[in-house]
Chain A
Amino acid sequence: MLSEFVVVDDADELSVDALGKALSARVESRGTERRGWLDTFDWRLYRAGLVLEHRESPPGRSVFVLTDLEGQRLARLPAPAGGIPSVDDLPAGPLKEQVMSRAGLRTAFVRASAEGRVGHLAVLDAEGKTVARVAIDGPLVVAGHAEPLPVRIRVEALRGYGKDARRVAERLGASPRVRRADDTLFEAICSAWGLQPGVYRSKPRVHLDPAMPAGRAFGLLLGELVSIARVNVDGTLRQIDTEFLHDLRIAVRSSRSVLKVARGVFDERLRSHYAAELKWIGDVTTPSRDLDVYLLEFDDLVEHAMDPVAMRPFRTLLARQCRKAHTGLNRALRSKRFARLLDGWTDELVASDEPGPDADLPVVRVGGDRLRSAWRQVRRRGNAVTDASPPDALHDLRKRCKELRYLLEHLSSLYEKSAQREIVGELRQLQNNLGEYQDAENQRRLILQYAEELVAQNASAKTLVGMGRLDHYFEHRQAVARAQFADHWTRFDRKHNRRVFATMLEP
Chain B
Amino acid sequence: MPHTQKEYDDIPGTFVFDQERSRRGYGINMFCMSLMKAENRKAFKENEAEYLKKFPLTPEQTEAILKRDYNKMLELGGNIYFTAKLGATDGHSFQHLAAVMTGSTQEDYAKMMLGGGRPIEGNRSKSGKHERKSKPAAKAKGRKKVGSKRG
Is B one of A's binding partners? no
Residues of A within 8 A of B (CB): none
